[in-house]
Every structure is written in structure tokens, then in C-alpha cells.
Amino acid sequence: MSEERVCVKCPNPATLCSTDARKAAYCKSCFMQMVKHKFSSAIGKRRLYK
């Protein structure tokens, strides 16, 4: 039972997704962009770098 999942940010096919069907699926470029944003946000919130 394999269904083609689509990225939640763009119309490309999703390559990275969670095992939980309710979680978001991302293509590689959108996934990397999301991870970079979360990482920068976490660093900024904790003021590790000024």
C-alpha cells in the first residue's frame, strides 16, 4: 500500500516523511530549509551567538 506523498510546501514528491501518517512530508530542499530555520531560531532564542 504505497501512495505517492506530496511535499507540504511545494508540489514536488515528498522524499522525507515521518512514519506517522498524520505528520508532514517534505521534499529534500524544503526539509533542509525547514531544519536550517528551526536551528537558527533555536540558537537565536537562547542567545548563544550575538
Residues 9-46: pLDDT tens digits?
A: 999 999 887 767 678 889 999 989 988 998 888 888 77
**Does the pLDDT of residue 8 top 50, yes or no?**
yes
Q: Which residue has the higher pLDDT, 5 or 19?
A: 5
- Position 49 scores a pLDDT of 58
- Measure CA 1 to chain center: 24
Q: Are the beta carbons of 28 and 15 closer than 8 angstroms?
A: yes
> What's the pTM value of the predicted model, to 2 decimals?
0.69
The residue that leads in pLDDT, 41 or 48, is: 41
Query: Total structural domains in the chain?
Result: 1
Range of the domain at 36: 1-50
Nearest Cα to Cα of residue 14 among 34, 29, 35:
29
